[in-house]
Amino acid sequence: MKTTTALLAALLLAASASAKTPGPGPAPDFTVGTVLNAPVRRASLKSLRGKVVYLEFWATWCQPCVDEIPHISRLAEDYRGKPVVFLSVTDEPKAKVERFLKTHPTKAWIGVDDLGDVFKTYGIDARPAGFLIDAHGRLLGRLFPSDLRAADVDAALAGKTPPDLEVSPAASPAPAGAKPLYEVRLAPGVAGPYTYSFDKDDIDGNNLPFDLAASMAYGIDQFQVELETAPPVAALDLSVRSPGVPPAADLLREALERTFGVRAKRVRIRREAYVLERLPGAKAPTPLDHQGHGPTAYGGGVFRGEATIAQLAAFLQSELGGFVVDESGLKGWYAMDLSWDERKPETAKAALESSLGLTWKKARRKVEILKVAFPARRK
């Protein structure tokens, strides 16, 4: 079912069909107009000829990128005074990067590619990412910052291709309009009105609140998500494409955990809830003599088909935007044909009373919530 309502670089966990990563041979030339933390103010591949270059793509909001800063910084310090440059490029504003560097010092050069030209040149659809380039401007291969070792740099200095380094093949342009077969993309959004669509194989969203993105990823209603600390971004733009196994929600969950260090835990806690119970004096509905086939229509003030009271309660939870606890004592499957004005919750209560002899009261009960925490930000 897909729904649409008035609702960090891109994280791609598997390459899309349209990615254009450079292949073996000369590395594409680039120019970074602003370089921080370096003896130069701008840099190009041509100006760095004669030096081994590790060209990294990163962002301040990308937690895996931030985690790699100490590793790259140590390498930069180890090769200080040698013809090696560690150039970490981001497409964020200079002022934001400068503020970040005050609390996250590094020995690497920091390139500010605020127009995204270098990202486009290298076909970057995932970060962190990196390319090792030798002193002659030859692209040796693409590898994650965490995979870069001193042996790789030493081999490049010797004019050799590091052993076990996977060289990216040249990519052919995808057909116009080709849809990625497997993709997870996250980018910062803007707090405010949002839109989304969601099903087993595809998830899309613009400006999604973090608790809504988490609800999709962990299979729980949005109101059941409690953020224990402020999220690292105000909102998310995202797209997920899955071949079906694993489901898109599983890919989104992995992306949130890898990118933001999300830690989620389901707990039971007392909260106010709609408690379903039998209406005094009402006749009990007659259960079906067989296992039902499930609801045939639901959403927008409609619930129709064959279902258990527990299934109905789970549906009402989304419709009412609050916890629903079944204490009716009714077991088995029932034929249901309910409709109400979704803008007026009390009309749902009236539909329950007239059709199933059920009502609700507000009371505190133990219910399940998802506590979402983020790692403490480094000082």
Q: What is the pLDDT of residues 91-148, one digit of tens each?
A: 888 988 998 898 889 999 999 987 788 988 888 876 788 999 999 998 888 888 888 9
21 contact partners, CB below 8 Å, separation of at least 6: 15, 122, 123, 142, 168, 171
Identity of residue 210: F
Confirm whether 6 is domain-assigned: no
Query: At which of 132, 157, 182 does a domain end?
Result: 157
Is there a single domain that holds both residue 274 and residue 151? no
Which residue from 222, 213, 203, 181 is spatially nearest to 323, judged by alpha carbons? 222
- Over residues 313-347, the pLDDT tens digits come to 988 988 888 999 999 999 999 999 999 988 888 89
Provide, rounded to the nearest whole percent, the portion of the chain with pLDDT above 90: 47
Assess whether pLDDT exceeds 50 at residue 244.
yes
Residue 108 lies in a domain: yes
Q: Number of H helices and number of E strands within the chain? A: 8, 20
Two structure tokens written together for 321: 């935007």
Q: 29, exposed or middle or buried, with CB in 10 Å at 0-12, 13-18, 19+?
A: exposed
- Residue predicted with more confidence, 19 or 334: 334
At 175 the pLDDT is 55
Domain containing 116: what range? 25-157
Q: Which of 117, 138, 157 is the last residue of a domain?
A: 157
In a domain, 294, yes or no: yes
**pLDDT tens digit sequence for 48-102:** 999 999 999 998 888 788 888 999 999 999 999 999 999 999 988 898 899 889 8
Q: In a 3-state reduction of DSSP, which class is residue 260?
A: helix
- Distance CA(89)–CA(57), nearest Å, equals 5
Inside any domain, residue 208: no
Contact 87, 32 (CB under 8 A): yes
The number of domains in the chain is 2
Report the CATH number at residue 122: 3.40.30.10
**Which of 130, 157, 184 lies at the terminal end of a domain, its last residue?**
157
Residue 239 lies in a domain: no
Residues 6+ apart with CB under 8 A from 268: 366, 367, 368, 369
Q: For residue 103, is it within any domain?
A: yes
CA angle 251, 252, 257 (to 5 degrees): 100
Alpha helix (H) residue ranges in the chain: 63-78, 94-103, 117-121, 150-157, 210-218, 248-260, 309-320, 345-356
Distance CA 290, CA 295 (A): 15
In a domain, 31, yes or no: yes
Asked whether residue 144 is domain-assigned, the answer is: yes
Q: Which residues pair with 324 in a beta bridge?
A: 274
Lowest mean pLDDT across 162-171, 211-220, 247-256, 345-354? 162-171
